[in-house]
Amino acid sequence: MAPSLETVQAETVRACAEAMTACADTTETRSVFMDRGRPVPKFREMGETLNRLGGFTAMLQVADALQAHAVRGPEVWMLDLRELDVCWGGIGEWQF
């Protein structure tokens, strides 16, 4: 049985938040969701799965949850969200 949309959203938030937290680089040039200008496949696939299961709304709900996480952390976490925006760019209605 395939996981529910809610499960996929929760797992995506968890994985993204963990990646943001685990990144030791605290400079503005750090990269969490992109690698040499290309989306990290794991995170791109998460966006594609969210889009397939729930469309733009599902993706936006995850981004909103991550923003709530990011405002409690270092400023670079907000930059990470911009990078996730680029990583997911072009998936369904998602645009950066």
**What pLDDT score was predicted for residue 13?**
97
For residues 96 and 58, the model is more confident at 58
Question: How far does Cα 81 stand from its chain's mean position?
Answer: 7
Q: Residue 6 in 3-state DSSP?
A: helix
Q: Is the pTM of this model over 0.85?
A: yes
HSE of 55 in the Cβ direction (CA atoms, 13 Å)? 2
Distance CA 77, CA 90 (A): 22
Of the pLDDT bands very low, low, confident and very high (cuts 50, 70, 90), residue 4 is very high
pLDDT by residue (tens digit) across 27-75? 989 999 999 999 999 999 999 999 999 999 999 999 999 999 998 889 9
HSE of 51 in the Cβ direction (CA atoms, 13 Å)? 14
Asked if the model's pLDDT at residue 96 lies above 80, the reply is: no
